[in-house]
Amino acid sequence: MEEASPPLRCFSESHSSELFSDDGVQTVTSREQRKVERSIQEVYSVYQQIHTSPHVCQFLARCQSPTGGFGGGPCQHAHLAPTYAAVNALCILGTEEAYEVISREKLLDFLYSVKQPDGSFVMHVGGEVDVRSAYCAASVASLTNIITPTLFDGTHNWILSCQNWEGGLGGVPGLEAHGGYTFCGTAALVILGKEHMLDLKTLLRWVTSRQMRFEGGFQGRCNKLVDGCYSFWQAGLLPLLHRAFFKEGDSTLSVSSWMFERKALQEYILLCCQNPGGGLLDKPGKSRDFYHTCYCLSGLSIAQHFGNKDLHNELILGRDENRLVPTHPVYNICPEKVAQAIEHFHRLPVPVQTGPTPSAMDQS
């Protein structure tokens, strides 16, 4: 049996006693020493918060707000974006321990606390409204089986009002169409079973026009530059639209490919968006980061895989080691993890909402 490693010196209670003391006589050197020690203390503190939890589940449990939902870190206010990320991460883990971290009753109360009377959602209490919040709410609610008859009252109509003359969706009604917002709005409508109410043909025209003819990647808006993250936000729309047109009985749909240049997108991601030291990026000359690494890889998976288990076609550019596992086009985690989470949580009853409804809060 492997022995546990001894605790780090910097985690001991006596470690702070080793901080420099100038005995009340400040000098240029002593001020610099204090400055260095403060910066090092911050690093140790962050490391301790993350790594003293022996398991990701325990860390995410510490990010969960006492009133429901998750913050970006321990003791932070609940926010729909990290709530979406935390629920997805726990579903990726897919263990009983991971599922049990989620307080479904309090999560439902949190969703009601950010629901607005017009059907939209704010990202956090007192925060901004945009279509991202509707998607985050719909995603976590559907995965964890907490959708009540009133939770999404009016939401689909509010999302539909975000579609503009271009065909895509803006962050709120009246704004310019944008790839990230268009994905969020469309995916939320798919979850709610209302995607057929969009103007699907103009949406298809808009999103396919965002793939750059020379670069092969996607731009987020008209007359903008290519960006690796839209490999998912834009290309991920095409499976959703394919499904919507299929449900409408469109006999012209391909049975082997999504409606974009899959090979061109793979060329852009693999040849232009990889950092030699690892990680992926927006475009050549930009820095790598976790955000672009996630969404470049997610878009690469969409470009490689068509269909599902019953009708599946692969297009892998280059060596077979470039092949990624498929990702779910609505939730952006592996399809089997989505199915596993839904099966688990649908064995549980839908919680009863206990907090005030949006209309009650509005009247008060």
> Would you please indicate which residues are annotated as catalytic (active-site) residues?
178, 221, 224, 227, 229-230, 282, 289, 292
Structure tokens at 312: 């599946």
Closest CA to 206 of 172, 229, 176, 184: 176
Helix, strand or coil, per DSSP, at residue 281: strand
Alpha carbon separation from 263 to 40, 135, 300, 319 (Å, rounded): 47, 29, 10, 13
Radius of gyration of the CA atoms of the chain, in A:
23
CB 81 within 8 A of CB 180: no
Pairwise CA distance, residues 161 & 184, whole Å: 14
CA–CA dist 134, 45 (Å, integer): 34
Strands (E), the chain: 305-307, 312-314
The residue to which tokens 């549980």 are assigned? 348
Question: What's the rounded Cα separation, in Å, for the pair 52 and 69?
Answer: 22
Q: Is 16 within 8 Å of 3 (Cβ atoms)?
A: no
Instruction: Measure the CA–CA gap between 251 and 257, rounded to whole angstroms.
Output: 14
Residue written as tokens 């049975």?
Answer: 255
